[in-house]
Structure formats: structure tokens, C-alpha cells
Amino acid sequence: MLLPSSPFPFILLAGLVSAARFDIEGRRQHGRPLGKRAGISSLSDLSNIDYRTNITVAGQSFSVIIDTGSSDLTVTADALSGAVFAGKNATLSFAGGAPDPGPIVLAPVEFLGYTIPQQALVLVSPDADHSPGEGLIGLGPGSGSVILQTLLSNEAFTVLDNIFNQDTSTGNYITFLLERLNDPTDVFPGQLTVGEVLTDFAAITSQPQLPMTTVSMSEAPNQHFQILLDEDGFIGPDGKAIPITSRVSTSKNKAQATVIVDSGFSFPQIPASIAQAIYSQFGSDAELTTISGQGDFWIVACDREVNITLKFGGQLYPVHPLDTTMSDEALGGDDTDPTLLKSGKVACLGPFQPFSFDAGPDPTYDIIFGMAFLRNVYVLINFGDFVAGSNSKADPYIQLLSITDLAQAHTDFVNERLNGTDTTVSLYGPSGALELVATQNKNGTTGGTSRQTQIMIGLGVLDGVILLGLIVAIFACRKGRIAASPMAYRPLSLPAPGKA
């Protein structure tokens, strides 16, 4: 199906907005399962955190989960005044994890200072898993949009694609920063920007541009933000590289893992061999266990500091030890009734989880890095040719800026897990972990702060010759650039959705 030569007659710019920055806020959602996109899996989170912002749909304000792993907008309400039924329903995975069909409607949307007069979205009916006034906004590649795959028309473009296309002065990129306060805590601050880089982290623009790998056209609905880990780029607690053999058939170098950068997973999904290589180094202080409904996890003595480092584009990215093990709360325990290892020590959860689902015989990825990694980096995602309807070309890429300082991270661990008394015995030796990233620190690529956060997602898959033809037409052009822009700022808050 060919698209009209002028694909945006329905998109208007409400005010001059050439960049936008929002505060976002995350809170733990205890006992609430997390829906994953159909192309990946359904995964429930034991101690998940939703990062939210506000959006106005048909004059109503909604608190929506920020989701870089999906592409569609959904809101929960009994009705939307003035919304027009688009003639079809869509089935998305939203919050509860079970498939939820809902009507696709067209309604005016205000987001990040922009107004889109007719934005396609799914209207979800309130029920036990979907609270009125809430929703989810997908910020992922448009090729994964279930709405686009269903309507097969220009009016089905995603919120971000509409924003990028209506204001060509704005760079087609987003950034996000997800912060840590304490472990555990109830509120986790963060920031989301469109077409703008946070001033304190401007060094991200000088970091390596990591090209996104692309899937075949037959897999286009499963395109994610995915990049290659360096060879020998997964460094374990002993300071040695953990061997990896990629299962991606199109990978040119099988020693490089294809990694999806996905804020919708709290628990990074990694091959079982890597998880074992990380946690089994702690002997009787680590055990592999199965948690009902969640899959296999390693649990580790809470007083053991687990240090791992990742390497992308020649740069080292250390992971905060409070992200390599999570407090007993994640296992359902508390101070009065902790989860214990066989050794009698209090157990913490190892969030770098062996894959909890079958990736299939011919996967397009090897690893999914969720919040336990993303809390340690400031992330810039340039959409490049992932923008539907654009007329210029540019390759999509990701830039990462390390924001975890190992010395401060060690102090955080000692204060949180050891009551301020350092009794750790590092597998690196007294200073090995710091030496591992010495070159990186000298080059000034670390931000000197430790940050933390978590969020959830859903994305569907639809096949067919017509669908693939549409996707080829929409994404045949490339568009993407970074340019200095004035800033538009508006703070957002939780828990009650305020007016956007």
C-alpha cells in the first residue's frame, strides 16, 4: 500500500517547541505484574518500578508509563469525549500481561508541548488490572506499532513520529536519565528529553555512536533499539571477560552479543551461562533458585558486593553493586522475615536473570538490558530511519554516557548493605575494580554520580505481505540529526496525574 505524497495534513504544531524536557518519576508497584510485548514475552516483575509522565488525551489528563520498548499509546477510561472510532480494534499487552483488545480511536493529544489533533491510540476499559486515568506511551521504533500494523495508514503514526515530523527543527532523538536515591526507596526521579541533551551530561554527544543493528524485513515488527556489545565486553566480578557466542544468525562476529536496550525490563535477560559466570563465583554465598511464575534467578548473600562492567564502542560501563543484587524486598522478604540462603545468610536477588522465556530457534538478539543496567548510563537514542514518513536519510544509533562512579558506588553499597562498616572482600582485589575503569575515568566519560530506576512495557507483532509492504514504504527514507535547540521545560509529578 503506497502512502500519499503529503502524509501529515492532520498534524499541527501548537506553539513553537523545538525541544522538550520533562521530569519523570518512578515508584515501586508491589505485586503488580508487568506486561511484555508479544514479540518478546510476558514477564512479571517482583518489585517493579513504573516511570511515568503526564499526557492529555481529549482534554483528560492521564499518568502514562514511559516505555522505550513499545510504540503505541494506550489510555484507560470508560470513554473519551470527541474521540473517533477508527473502525478496528487492536490487542496490546498492557500492565497485567494478559492480551487486552480495545478500540483504536483518534483523539487530540497534548504531549511535550505539542498538540496532535488526531493521534491514534488504544482505549482500554477499566478493570482490575487497568486503573482509570492511567496508560502507557511507547517510545520505540514505529515499525513495532500494533496500531500502525492494524490501520495501515498515515493516521496511525506513533506519538514520537508525529512530533518529529511536525517540527523538523528538532533533532530526531530522545534521551533519558533514570536516577537512584536509596535502596529500597519509594520515589525514583528521572528526566526524559526530546531533541535536547541535559546540560550536565552534554558529554554524551562526544561518546561513540553505536550503530543500531537492523532485523530482516520479515522481522520488521520486532525491530528494537539494539546494538552490539564489544567482543570480550561482559566483564565479570573477577575482572575477566565472560565468553559469549551470539545466537543471532546474521551476526558477523559471533563473539559480539546483540543487546536490546529496553527500559521495559526491570530484570536484564541474559544467557544462563553468563548469569552463572557472574554469580557462581561467590560459592556457597550464591544459589540458583526457581521463583514460581518468574523463572530462574540467582540469589546472593546481601553482604557480597558483585561488580560487573560492560563495554560498548571501546568504553567501559561499570554497573552499581546495588543493581547487581537487589534487596530482600525483591524476594518478598522483609527485616522480620528475610529470605535465607542454605548457609543461613540473608539472600538478595540477582536481577541479571537467565532468560525467563524461550527466545526461539532463530532469535534476533542475545541479551536484553533493562533497568538494572540502564540506571548506570545516560542514554541518547537517535531514531534515524526509524521515523515514519521522513524524506531525508540518517542511520539510527545510540550513545551511552557512564554515570556510575565506582568509588561512590562502593560507598553506597557499604552504607546500605553493611551499615557503614566495610567488610567486603572484592574478587577484584582491593583496587582492581577501580583500576578496570581507570582509563575511562581519565578520559572523563563518567558522570561521577550513581543513578537508578525501572519501568515496564508491551509491544505486539503482526505479519503479512501487505504489512511488510507498508513498513518498507514508511521506513524507506531516513531522517536523524542532533542540533542545538532552545529548551522547553515542564515538571511532572506522581501519583495523581496532573494536567499536562
What tens digit of pLDDT does each residue of 262-310 get?
887 888 999 999 999 999 999 999 999 998 878 899 999 999 999 999 9
Grid cell at residue 400:
551511552
Question: Of 403, 416, 286, 278, which is closest to residue 352 (Cα–Cα)?
Answer: 278
pLDDT of residue 41: 24
Residue 177: is it exposed, middle or buried by C-beta count within 10 angstroms (0-12/13-18/19+)? buried
Contact 107, 118 (CB under 8 A): yes
pLDDT at 3 over 60: no
**Which residues have CB under 8 Å from 457's CB, separation 6+?**
34, 35, 36, 37, 65, 67, 68, 69, 70, 136, 138, 262, 263, 264, 265
pLDDT at 477 over 90: no
Q: State the DSSP H helix or E strand holding residue 163, giving kind and residue range, or none if neither.
A: helix 159-166
Domains of the chain, by residue range, sit at 26-177+457-490, 198-442
Of residues 398 and 471, the one with the higher pLDDT is: 398
Count CB neighbours of 488 within 10 A.
20
**Which residues have CB under 8 Å from 25's CB, separation 6+?**
51, 52, 187, 188, 189, 190, 492, 493, 494
Of residues 372 and 429, the one with the higher pLDDT is: 372
pLDDT of residue 450: 35
Strands (E), 218-346: 226-228, 234-235, 258-261, 269-270, 286-291, 295-301, 308-312, 315-319
Same fold, 26-177+457-490 and 198-442: yes
By percentage, how much of the chain surpasses pLDDT 90? 50
26-177+457-490 classified as CATH 2.40.70.10: yes
pLDDT at 387 over 70: yes
pLDDT at 354 over 80: yes
pLDDT at 51 over 90: no
pLDDT of residue 469: 44
Of residues 388 and 370, the one with the higher pLDDT is: 370
Average pLDDT over residues 392-412: 92
Look at domain 198-442 and name its CATH class: mainly beta
Strands (E), 125-211: 134-138, 173-178, 187-194, 210-211
pLDDT of residue 486: 29
Strands (E), 164-262: 173-178, 187-194, 210-211, 226-228, 234-235, 258-261
Contact 160, 173 (CB under 8 A): no
Q: What mean pLDDT is reported for the chain?
A: 76
Q: How confident is the model at residue 210 (pLDDT cuts 50, 70, 90)?
A: very high
pLDDT of residue 332: 67
How big is the chain by its Cα radius of gyration, in Å? Answer: 22
Residue 465 has phi, psi (to 5 degrees) of -65, -40
Of residues 355 and 477, the one with the higher pLDDT is: 355
- Residue-wise pLDDT for 4-32, tens only, equals 333 333 334 333 344 555 554 444 444 33
Count CB neighbours of 341 within 10 A.
18
- Residue-wise pLDDT for 101-133, tens only, equals 799 999 999 998 889 999 999 999 998 888 999
Average pLDDT over residues 227-244: 97
Angstrom distance (rounded) from CA 250 to CA 363: 10
Contact 494, 63 (CB under 8 A): yes
Residue 228 has phi, psi (to 5 degrees) of -100, 130
Question: Of 451, 485, 63, which is closest to residue 263 (Cα–Cα)?
Answer: 451
Grid cell at residue 490:
515542564
Residue 363 has phi, psi (to 5 degrees) of -70, 155
Contact 424, 430 (CB under 8 A): no
pLDDT of residue 412: 92
- Residue-wise pLDDT for 308-352, tens only, equals 999 999 999 999 999 999 886 666 666 677 889 999 999 999 999
- Residue-wise pLDDT for 126-177, tens only, equals 988 889 999 999 999 998 899 999 999 989 999 999 998 887 777 899 999 8
Q: Which of 36-45, 165-174, 247-256, 317-326 has the lowest mean pLDDT?
A: 36-45
